[in-house]
Amino acid sequence: MELSDFELEVMQLFWENPESSAPQIHQIIDQSRSVSYSTVKTIIDRLEKKQALTRSKQEGRTIFYSPLVKKNQLRKPMIKDFIKRVFLGESKPLVAHILQEEELSLDDISYLESLLEQRKKELK
């Protein structure tokens, strides 16, 4: 499933606020930038058509939506696509970038070390 940046932003809001209505999502987005309600509703309709969202209940004329896909279901293919496009399919430059350019805490480094150790064991 491919999502635009704005579709992904809306999905993030549904993951944080499951079973929300279009007006509720619009209100959250409108706090950070000016976007019309109809634009938000169009994105929600697209996400429903892509089967990323489903109608979960209705109160009067207000329809509430819930996510059908989990973050991890979208994250994995998106990251693979990102590595393919930005790093020509090579993961080493991405890992090097994270280690050299990002501000990592000692906890972050310890976590990464434990992941590397686990991965080494799996490959033996």
Q: Which domains does the chain have, with CATH numbers?
A: 5-67 (1.10.10.10), 71-123 (1.10.4040)
| Buried/exposed code over 23-55 (b: 16+ C-beta within 10 A; e: otherwise) | ebbbeebeeeeeeeeeebbebbebbeeeebbee
**Burial category of 15 from C-beta neighbours within 10 Å (exposed 0-12, middle 13-18, buried 19 and up):** middle
Given this model, what pLDDT does residue 1 score?
77
Per-block average pLDDT, block size 10, for the chain (124 residues)? 90 95 96 94 97 96 96 86 92 92 94 94 90
**Which two tokens mark 34?**
């000016």
**Spatial separation of the C-alpha atoms in residues 92 and 123, rounded to whole Å:** 17
Given this model, what pLDDT does residue 7 score?
94
Given this model, what pLDDT does residue 78 score?
86
